Amino acid sequence: MKYISTRDNSKEYSFEEVFIKGLADDGGLFIPKKIKKYTTEELNSLSNLSYQDLAKKIIFPFIGDFMTEAELSLIVDKSYSSFRKDNVVDLIKIGDAKILELFHGPTLAFKDIAMQLLGNFYEYYLSKNSKQINIIVATSGDTGAAAIDAIKGKENINIFVLHPHNKVSQVQRKIMSTVKEKNVFNIAINGNFDDCQNLVKAMFADKEFSNSINMSGVNSINWARIIAQAVYYFYTYFQIRDDRLVNFSVPTGNFGDVYAGYLSKKMGLPINKLIVATNQNDILHRAITNGKYEAETVIETNSPSMDIQIASNFERLIYDLNDFNDVETGNVMKKIKEEGKYIIPKDKLQKISKDFLSENMSETEVLNIIKDVHNRYNVILDPHSAIGFGALKKINIEGNNIVLATAHPCKFPDAIDKSIGIKSSLPNELQYIMNEKENYDIISNNINETQKYIKEKLQ
Ligand SMILES: *Cc1c(COP(=O)(O)O)cnc(C)c1O
């Protein structure tokens, strides 16, 4: 499969370039030149596979000549061997909805599902190329942990993780900062997540710097993450065997996870609606309901992994809305950068509404949902997953409704305690991090200082 950039579709890229670069040189996001659409028969032939075997079938067409099918097979099996569920994910029923638990990986968040695979893709790539790679990634809490777990201890690769100082939960921070491997560096930036993300973007754009350290990125715009996430939409769809329409409610920040659902639909999976569920940082909810894609200041909430005002992956949808017009997409993105907003025209909003619905949730609503679900079904949802569930309730749509549960509740003990008075504890394998020495450095929100820090560590 060949790839293009959303801002220049005349130049083709291989999967290897797409994976290693993350972002196109023109600033656009990579997307496939053409997406394979499955027929009903083809979908049927996939419907009884194990999660791992399904992942191999779904991912392989996307990676072209990066590796052979047999090599991919080994990597998929290895990537998911550390998960606590044989089939990677778990689907549980609560009332008339279903909860898709995606948090059974090593760092208790859905991001492990993509990140474990990426870690092994890097290892494979470096076994064929004598290079040293430095991954730099911004995190609102979960990406960093998942990336560190996937990269720690691997040869010829370092990882630098920027998190907003004092704005991730203590458990989220400790999962990252207690890792001892020498190729892992944690940086707390005096700023918010968008500041961290902007620093990483600026370091990428500084070609002299990024080339000099062979910088690579695993942020949610990395196409490899999207394809790994599409797998669980297919897997879940195949678990459901009745004729009602299927809707997914997706706790959303950077629009990566829900975009993977949209991609699955483009690939022929008969999904009805994707519900974009946001917290009070609801730029996407405002965009989808009244066409106002306009960044406001970030509010700190009890779902910190979604405290985002710039939804990076949204550009991929903007490209589709603009009928695959690269120049138009580039202009829209330029406008967003310069004026801080994009008013989506009516006809394009109508297009969005074919695939997406949206809702936002306040802090109090989130705590009430956690309490209500716990009372009724004896299930504890983390605040992010509760937003998915709450949005679904507010929208009140008929059908087979699936809520993506994106993190284990024990990652957010304060919110859980506040809602139901239960001190939710870490799984046994992770208990040790609470007493372990932490390693991270605090740096101001400044590109020169951050680059200097990274250069020094690499000497
Ligand atoms: C990252 C994250 C999200 C948001 O996913 P996006 O792909 O950024 O939309 C939701 N919940 C949790 C727990 C996360 O870590």
Give the chain's domains with CATH numbers: 90-108+224-420 (3.40.50.1100)
| CA angle centred on 173, ends 162 and 19, rounded to 5° | 45
Distances (CA, A) of 323 to 6, 59, 310, 333: 11, 25, 22, 15
pLDDT for 40-90, tens place per residue? 999 999 999 999 999 999 999 999 889 999 999 999 999 999 999 999 999
Of ligand 1's atoms, which has the minimum distance to the CA of residue 142?
A: 15
pLDDT, position 429: 84
377 Cα to the center of ligand 1, angstroms: 24
| CA angle centred on 350, ends 349 and 352, rounded to 5° | 65
Active site residue 265: no
Backbone phi and psi for residue 398, each to the nearest 5 degrees, phi listed first: -75, 155
Burial 262-289 (b: 16+ CB within 10 A, else e): bbbbbbbbebbbbbbbbbbbbbbbbbbb
Q: Which residues are within 8 A (CB) of 428 and not within 5 positions of it... i.e. 6 or more apart?
A: none
360 Cα to the center of ligand 1, angstroms: 15
Q: What is the C-alpha to C-alpha distance for residues 308 and 300, in angstroms, rounded to an integer?
A: 9
Low-confidence ranges of the chain (pLDDT < 50): none
To test the pocket of ligand 1, the residue of 171, 225, 257 to mutate (highest count of ligand atoms within 8 Å of its CB) is 257
Q: What's the pTM value of the predicted model, to 2 decimals?
A: 0.95
List ligand 1's pocket residues with C-beta within 6 A.
Answer: 109, 111, 142, 220, 251-257, 305-306, 384, 406-407
| CA angle centred on 221, ends 444 and 196, rounded to 5° | 5
Q: Do the beta carbons of residue 59 and residue 267 sit within 8 Å?
A: no
pLDDT, position 424: 79
pLDDT, position 423: 83
257 Cα to the center of ligand 1, angstroms: 7
To test the pocket of ligand 1, the residue of 194, 259, 370, 384 to mutate (highest count of ligand atoms within 8 Å of its CB) is 384
37 Cα to the center of ligand 1, angstroms: 27
Three-class DSSP category at 452 = helix
Q: Which position among 21, 56, 98, 111 bears the catalytic label?
A: 111
